[in-house]
Structure 1
Amino acid sequence: MTRTVDVVVIGAGVAGLSTALGLAATRDVLLLSAGDGSTPWAQGGVSAAYGEDDPLDHARDTDIAGAGFCDLRNVRALVEEGPQRLAELIAQGARFDRDDDGSLSRTLEGGHGRSRIVHAGGDATGAEVHRALRSALQLTGVQTMDGRTIGLIKSDSGRIVGVLVETGTEITRIDARAVVLATGGVGNAYLASTNPPTVRGDGIALALRAGASVVDMEFVQFHPTALFTGETGGQLPLVTEAVRGEGAVLRDMHGRRIMAGRHPRADLAPRDVVAREVEATMRRDGSDHVWLDATSIAPDVLRQRFPTVLASCARIGVDLLSEQIPVAPAEHFLCGGIRTDRDGATDVPGLYAVGEVAATGVHGANRLASNSLLEGLVFGRRVATALTLDLPATDHGHSHELALNHDREPERVRAILTKYAGIRRDGAGLNAAADELEPLGTGPLATVARSVIAAATTRQDSRGCHWRSDYPHSDERWDEHIVVRLDKDDRPTTRQLLHATTQ
């Protein structure tokens, strides 16, 4: 079975929906998904600097959190275009929380110098953003299709001209003038993640197989406060750092504050700093979690702002209102990804990427809180604009399919990546990971894992969410991006790219 459209967008999170919406009036678009991605699970909010809050201050906070490794041109686009995208989302029906005077309610999160986090349903922002975008898309007539993309189609001239989609026992070929990957990060390439099971790096594996390069794959962010449920793997409930923004603090097994004196912003330090301190505390105490103490926050505030967190805690028999809750770091977000220009084009003609799967450089070496939904809104529209203005011409040459192999041993791959490429890394462990991954085939999960290991091995310094105990400090000799591509045997090779832009 074969279908033909102008553009295929793969992924139904905020980035994919924003891209499809931006193209709906001018192009024949098909939205493919194997689930809703991570967007509905996002709790914190959308960061937006407007009014008395200067976007340049937002840009500065973004770059500081990103360890000075951000693409500042793209960061400017993010913070300056963000409020406009937020206003459009509200016009499309998104219902954000408001103060008594009717203005948007804004809160504080780690790494931000001002309260600029707009939220919905207290701590259900992602779900509301997803609902509003889905509803708006339904009014456009954009086609949708459920299924897993198992391969890209490449012409003999090197252009991507379609996709292969698996739906149950059928495989459908879809010809297209452009393909946009909006498949999210690599969450379930690790044993424990805040992401749903469908987010496992398939888009990155597809792009690598097509000849695209990926960049900054070593910068895997761990959220410091996933709810510790006693489970050793799978999707863990997130405890948004907005709880700490309202006054909650982290404590060790003895009741001592973990972040006091560790950073000027204490419990509201950037995520990489907090996650490392939590991991070090757990290792020191021999514990599998620490405590988050929100008992100083008024119960009415907790009930209004954090109903999702309250419910998650109740499910494991803990009362957020009166008890400390157990938390531990879990994989949360990929700061790198497929190398793109500022309009989402990869280095393979006809192939675009947007959202967490892409490396626009706006997150640098560590993402600032609540910049992810913002990125999807801003760069989804930028990709749509680029394709509206200059959609590639149809390639009528012969084509061949780049099939995405299934993983032979996914649980083994996830265990290796968790063990050797978590918050704490070192050269011996990374080399052991490469050896253990070698016999596990070239399926998508193994391909993603090898890319992370290759980049982390190459970068012999520490910055942002990449921390090597054998190279614990930042070194200006590594002020360069690590680019990964596959060789003819589908094994990752690395090279360094001067840090100036992700171009």
Structure 2
Amino acid sequence: MIKTDFLVIGSGIAGLSYALKVASFHKQATITLVTKAQKEESNTKYAQGGIATVTNTDIDSFEQHIQDTLIAGDGLCDEEVVRMVVEEAPKRLDELIAWGAQFDKTNKGDYSLGREGGHSQNRILHHKDITGYEIARALLQKVENTPNITLLEDHFTVDFITDHHILRAQGHEKTVTHRDHITCYGAYVLDEATQEIKTIQAKITLLAAGGSGQVYRTTTNPKIATGDGIAMAYRAKAKIQDIEFIQFHPTALHQEPAQSPAFLITEAVRGEGGILRNSNGERFMERYDDRLELAPRDIVARAIDTELKITGEDYAYLDCTHINPEHFINHFPNITEKCKSIGIDVHKDFIPITPAAHYICGGIAVNKNGQTSIENLYACGECSRTGLHGANRLASNSLIEAIVYAHKSFKHGTSIFNSLEFRSDIPGWDDTNTSKNIENILITHDRKDIQKIMSNYVGIVRSDIRLQKAANRLEILYQENKELYKNAKLSVPICELRNLITNAHLIIQASMERKQNKGGFYNQDCE
């Protein structure tokens, strides 16, 4: 049994900034931060474009940013949440800078502000085209120098410890339901080096485990993005909301053979004048939206998908040949180098692109304090559903959501921390009557089958028939793997497969229930 005052799951911007705040305020408290891979590996690391916030009030305002967010969210944003996040973002940005994050500046010393789809003004702060990497670097360095934070790499969180586990250990047959008052007491965590499942008891748990892009075949998300947090919360009976709204980034680099994750061509490239063209070399966005390449992502992704169906090709193009070469190389050095490595000269050649699963706009429902429907369990970052994004996230709003809600979760947790006590009846993990699984190839095949099902039937454009086929095929995989999980000693591949099946199920069911097209959700049979 490991006891820690605060348990943080995930090492992206949300988890790291939360841990730093707690450690600074509660200097005598213990904070344990667990991450399933190396500490640097998170969705934050792959965020290229930047962080959206109002810094130049001569040309921009909170109200403009709020309206841009509401428009992109297609009527499903929580306006109170939007206002709260937008208005608090500059303060949280200042904290990132104080922790060591650096953002590009002009020759005059002002922040160099980019513009992306759906934004009415230039307000995107960036660090070249590796903004997320730079933020993660600064926060990790700060965490490593904070003595009351223990960071455990290669530790996979299996499940939350709740009243369900206590009742079962005491021999009660009662099943915990969504209607019951449920409390989180920590989590069971698999140490990947020893294959031991540790029982970590915590007074407060923050879940910042990222998204679920790996449920799709083509995604910009890293291999670790298997929706573990959403699946765990669902099993613990937390409320899940708006999970049908999957944002497909319009411009991932098309490569043969396909790469996972797909290399992202940040939206900031279109903000600098990049033009979308079909296989015939025609600029096509004027047929779909007056905002052209800078329309919100859902519109641009559907436009590209439509063009691909018309032309029968696997990819379209992003034309950057007219952009000043020196400016492009300075702003997008990694994109330039990546394209060069596969024989593309961005100054002379069109870049082949295709939409890719990028961000899940829904997730674990939280209130404005970051609280889930489970007591003492908070969630922030991509795994959460705050109400900020509605049906479609405005570009570069994800990082401000993460830092604002990390702060809100910290503030509320601090207000109740002194009233919380450790329990003496937390059971350890029980894996009696299980055996080591040796058929890992079957797990690999099933993972690919899930990605195939979701990509073919639950993609940018859906239909009732496709969704029903997806549900039928997924049910077979679920039944096959139900026994595997029950009888095998746990491993990361087994747990990830279980979580991918859960996320696919949630997305399919929510898609079948939605009867109106909004933002990132489009069903041919809906209005």
- Per the TM superposition, whether the score is higher than 0.5 is yes
Count of matched residue positions in the alignment of Structure 1 and Structure 2 = 470
Work out whether 1:34 is the aligned partner of 2:36: yes
Work out whether 1:213 is the aligned partner of 2:239: yes
1:200-233 per-residue CA deviation (whole Å, 9 max, x = no partner) reads: 1011110011111100010000000000012345
Sequence identity (%)? 39
Taking structure 1 as the reference length, what is the TM-score of the superposition? 0.90
My pick for the range that moved more, 434-443 or 57-66, is 434-443
Work out whether 1:323 is the aligned partner of 2:365: no
Residue matched to 1:416: 453
Bigger Rg, which one: 2
Extract unaligned runs of 5+ from structure 2.
167-180, 483-497
Aligned-residue offset at 1:399: 3.9
Residue matched to 1:314: 340
Taking structure 2 as the reference length, what is the TM-score of the superposition? 0.86
Work out whether 1:68 is the aligned partner of 2:67: no
| Separation in 2, partners of 1:400, 1:320 | 58
Contact kept, 8 Å, 1:335 with 1:366, in 2: the verdict is: yes
Work out whether 1:48 is the aligned partner of 2:53: yes
| Separation in 2, partners of 1:303, 1:109 | 18
My pick for the range that moved more, 389-398 or 341-350, is 389-398
Aligned-residue offset at 1:403: 9.1
Residue matched to 1:499: none
1:356 to 382, 393, 415: 382
| Separation in 2, partners of 1:328, 1:184 | 23
Amino acid at match of 2:189: V
Residue matched to 2:207: 181
Residues 145 and 309 (structure 1), Cα distance of their counterparts in 2 relative to 1, 3 Å cut: same
Aligned-residue offset at 1:63: 0.7
Residue matched to 2:121: 114
1:222-252 per-residue CA deviation (whole Å, 9 max, x = no partner) reads: 0000000123452000000111101110000
Give the secondary structure class of the aligned counterpart of 1:90: helix
Amino acid at match of 2:86: V
Residues 320 and 136 (structure 1), Cα distance of their counterparts in 2 relative to 1, 3 Å cut: same
Residue matched to 1:79: 86
Aligned-residue offset at 1:413: 1.4
| Separation in 2, partners of 1:320, 1:294 | 6
Extract unaligned runs of 5+ from structure 1.
474-503
2:270 to 244, 254, 257: 244
Considering fraction of residues, name the structure with more strand: 1
Residues 454 and 233 (structure 1), Cα distance of their counterparts in 2 relative to 1, 3 Å cut: farther
Residues 310 and 206 (structure 1), Cα distance of their counterparts in 2 relative to 1, 3 Å cut: same
My pick for the range that moved more, 403-412 or 329-338, is 403-412
Work out whether 1:6 is the aligned partner of 2:9: no
| Separation in 1, partners of 2:188, 2:246 | 29
Residue matched to 1:149: 157
Residue matched to 1:396: 423
1:132 to 130, 138, 149: 138
Aligned-residue offset at 1:401: 7.0
Q: What is the root-mean-square deviation of aligned Cα atoms in Å?
A: 1.8
Aligned-residue offset at 1:108: 0.8
Aligned-residue offset at 1:264: 1.8
| Separation in 2, partners of 1:152, 1:45 | 32
Give the secondary structure class of the aligned counterpart of 1:274: helix
Amino acid at match of 1:328: T
Amino acid at match of 2:142: A
1:227-242 equivalences under 5 Å are: 227-232=253-258, 234-242=260-268
Work out whether 1:383 is the aligned partner of 2:409: yes
My pick for the range that moved more, 388-397 or 14-23, is 388-397
Residue matched to 2:489: none
| Separation in 1, partners of 2:258, 2:521 | 23
